[in-house]
Structure 1
Amino acid sequence: MKRARSTNPLTAALLVLIAVACAVTLYHVLWPVRAPTLPPTPPEVEVTQSDAPIPIAGLGVPPFDHYAEIVDRTVFREDRRKPPPEQTEVSEEPDDEPPPLEPPAYDLIGVVTTPDRNLALLRPRSGGDVVRLPVGAELEGWRITNIDNTNLSVENAGRTLNMEIDRTSKPSAPARPASRAAPAVPGAAKPASVPAGMPANPAAPNAAAEVRRRAQAAARAGRRSANPAAPTVEREFRYRKSPWAVQEEAARKTKSQSDGASDAGG
């Protein structure tokens, strides 16, 4: 017996594709595809003057004067009358007004009061000498109208300004002159250098104590001359000894006597 050959599925599919491709190719060869044809372009027509639109007579816009009656007899008023024109007020003030004057560039630093009049002491801010001005004087276009103890008033073109005393800046105290050293005497010995930790003048504490003692003595003498009968503190201390001082004095006497007796016995 002969064995039947089995057909491979892949081979069968390949044969089907080849057959379809051959059929499509044969169809295109026998019946080719034709491109669509466009309609013919119409010829261009030239527009002449006779072909332009002709305006219709009787439809023109009338002039503005034709509506004057409508404007004069407005429908927004009850009397149907045109309102009178508004009258603009003419300003009497001149248009070109001068700019306001700047305040004086001065600082009030003081006021001098006299029986006759008051004088204002003014110092320019830009620097310079202090000026004294009375009431009625001119100051950079401003007239001084009043001077008080602490302020003054100036006026210009109806404007009034008050200037108070400037207390922010005070004059600095004059510098104290430096002490000049005494000129050296020719032939005089130079002072010896003082060691560190020792006073420059050892006799200074003793001199201070001596001055204090003399001042106390002078004060006691003054009190004694004013009231001789009043006992002084020193006299009271001398006449009225405390019990502790009495005991100490007695102990010293006893000790001195015992020391003297022991010396005599020896």
Structure 2
Amino acid sequence: MLAVVVYSWRYFDEPPEGHAGTFPALILLFEAGMAGFALTGDLFDAFVFFELMGAVAYALTGYRIEDPRPVQGALVFVVVNSLGAYCSLLGIGLVYARTGELGLAQIGAQLARHRPDALLSVAFVLIVTGLLVKAAVVPLHFWLPDAHSVAPTPVCMLLSGVMVELGVYGTARVYWVVFSGPHGITHAHLRAVFVATGVLTALVGAVMCWQQRHLKRLLAFSTVGHVGLFLTGTALLTPPRRPAPPCTSPPTPG
């Protein structure tokens, strides 16, 4: 964020007509959403902070409203990421309906006592889908080149250097803290899915880089390729072990 602020200093001095002070305010709002998402222990709050980042990123992408191209790129960005946000919100609602909790640790403790069922599997898929849209993972990546190619350069730094990485981080955190308990979703199956998705994303990003003649689109597909590497590396990690829930059955008489 410090690098973005330094690089974007000229945008503070030359705002579009009628938008004095807008750019630095949006940068600070983006940073607030980033910090909140990384620090919160509440699933719904994490969703709110990530959507705050997304809303600010939409506005920053279309910052030069006198040019129709940034507005079009921001519109694609809004539509695709809003669909991902609806998926995450629906998944959070399903988890809350089952557990009555929104804290990540509290939900994990509740789910550790019960075997997963179809509802929890669907909730996990919905939540992770919303996060992977933000992470620009194939086949949910096409918003990033469109936004990247028309956004101001400091905004490209935010998209490539902050937003997509936090999507991968959020996916890992939701799984490890919430769904990886003793009776949670099987890690071996998820590892295979995420490794395959990460490898596919890395390959698509690398191949598409080779095809580009526009510098910002090339950098966008480079970001997609690196996200694939991040996702593959994260999937190959071992989840932290959690103690099994205490036994609540009555002791056997001596």
Shorter-chain TM-score tier: under 0.3
The structure richer in helix per residue is 2
The structure richer in strand per residue is 1
TM score, norm. by length of structure 1: 0.17
The structure showing larger relative contact order (alpha-carbon pairs under 8 Å, at least 6 residues apart) is 2
TM score, norm. by length of structure 2: 0.18
